[in-house]
Amino acid sequence: MFESAIIKLLSEDDTLASLLTVFDSSPAIFAERAPKAAMTPFIIFKIDRSSNECPAVQEFTVLIDLYDYDKSRVNSNKAIERIEFLLDRAEIEHERYSKIRLVFFAGSYVEETDPRDIHYNMQFLARAGRKKWVQQL
């Protein structure tokens, strides 16, 4: 879908990058799952495609999880705020879709069994026109 565009948007922000660890010389931002060797804090995101009644329009939910462990919740909160700042109302160009538009939908801390775990989940709704359909209209 458009995972590489999300990674690019988040990883190119110096403020957010300074709040994450580095993995393979890039900020620790991963699609679907983090490698075992990744150190916290890091971000994992997933894109779920939704169906709708209009075949020309595609809807998505972008789920973003920030993970940290026994670190400063203040820095985690800064990272969360930065992610929302970067993605809320963002417009992403893509070869398959005309301008993907993201809107913040929800976010909250997730309870973990270990109280030292920091896990925050954010959800963004996204919509885009399918270029093949839009060009035919």
Residues with Cβ within 8 Å of 129's Cβ and at least 6 positions away in sequence, in order, are 56, 57, 58, 97, 98, 99
Confidence at residue 100, expressed as pLDDT on a 0 to 100 scale = 92
Residues with Cβ within 8 Å of 92's Cβ and at least 6 positions away in sequence, in order, are 2, 5, 6, 9, 99, 100, 101, 102
Confidence at residue 16, expressed as pLDDT on a 0 to 100 scale = 97
All structural domains of the chain with their residue ranges: 3-136
Q: Which CATH number fits domain 3-136: 3.30.2000.30, 3.10.20.30, 3.40.50.10420, 1.10.3720.10?
A: 3.30.2000.30
Confidence at residue 37, expressed as pLDDT on a 0 to 100 scale = 94
Confidence at residue 135, expressed as pLDDT on a 0 to 100 scale = 54
The verdict on whether omega for the bond into residue 41 sits within 30 degrees of 0, i.e. cis, is yes
Confidence at residue 133, expressed as pLDDT on a 0 to 100 scale = 61
pLDDT tens across the length of the chain (137 residues)? 788 899 999 999 999 999 999 999 999 999 999 999 999 999 999 999 886 677 778 889 999 999 998 777 889 999 999 999 999 999 998 888 888 999 999 999 998 888 888 999 999 999 988 877 655 54
Confidence at residue 134, expressed as pLDDT on a 0 to 100 scale = 53
Distance of alpha carbon 72 from alpha carbon 96, whole angstroms: 40
